[in-house]
Amino acid sequence: MIGFIGLRIMGKPMARNLMKAGKELMVYDVEPAALAQMTGEGCKAAKSCREIAENCDVMILMLPNSPHVEAAVLGEDGVLEGIGKGAVLIDMSSIAPASSQKVAAKVAEKGGHMLDAPVSGGEPKAIEGTLAIMVGGEEEIFEKVKDLLLIMGSSAVYVGPIGSGNVTKLANQIIVALNIAAMSEALVLSRKAGVDPEKVYQAIRGGLAGSTVLDAKAPMALAGNFKPGFRIELHIKDIDNALQTAHDVGVPLPLTSGVFEIMQALKVAGKEKNDHSGIVEFYEQLAAVRVKG
């Protein structure tokens, strides 16, 4: 039986894909409604993270941030209180690398193994089962669970020791944020200069400026549709972790700091639950123009 902790926007479809593949799941979430929905679909409910650990040799976490992971694993009735020797904890949350290392050390003291395996692709890819998964930890353990990961993702790449997965995710989030910001500037410029942004997008998407980010987010900006696949508030969390990690190792991130403040401004404006494609709204306000025709 596989344990799954965290059943929200990302965790729920990931758990469903495991069920579709024939895996038996025991699940837990602090939100009763989220737990009830998944148990209604055939999962076995647990009353705590500890109960998950007592019954499962492989456990998956999908939680918002470092404090949530530490509470679920190290806190009262947490995973650590029930984990067995040889058990594998796969943390697919996006958290600070230092937190991954802290939790993994405690898991190792109990004879368990931990992988940090954050994902990229947002809710659409979670639903499709085509997430990109970046993994840190013991390579031997990664190989044992790789097939399980590939039920939830189209790729699962081992990148190094524990914490490496989250360093990779932070690098990913930097690139995504800066891509969206650059796209936003370009589309706003196009509209203000009197050129149809939709035509600009179609003209450049096949060239060097084309990217997965552009194809995913430009149509949302053009439609003024900011229904979240990945919320601004979650990207703020990731960039905050990136900046803290960078400062700890002595790496200045001037461009990342700039887009972080743009997202903070959107949060102040009450837009933190919008999709991160909504970064375009910051530029629209500066230029007094709407990209949407």
Q: Are 277 and 220 in contact (CB under 8 A)?
A: yes
Report angle CA 121, 132, 116 to the nearest 5 degrees. 110
Burial classification of residue 290, based on how many CB atoms lie within 10 Å of its CB (0-12 exposed, 13-18 middle, 19 or more buried): middle
- Helix orientation angle between 232-249 and 97-109, rounded to the nearest 10 degrees: 80
The secondary structure of 267-278 as a DSSP string is: HHTT-TTSBGGG
What DSSP element (H or E) covers 235? helix 232-249
Q: Minimal CA–CA distance to 231: which of 176, 278, 274, 279?
A: 274
Q: Identify any residues that bridge with 4 across adjacent strands, giving them in sequence order.
A: 27, 60
CA 202 to chain centre: 28
Catalytic residues: 169
Helix (H) or strand (E) holding 61: strand 58-61
- 56-95 burial, b at 16+ Cβ within 10 Å, e below that, comes to bebbbbbbbbbebbbebbbbebbbbbbbeeebbbbbbbbb
Name the residue among 53, 36, 39, 37 with its Cα closest to residue 2. Answer: 53
Specify the 3-state DSSP secondary structure of 129.
coil
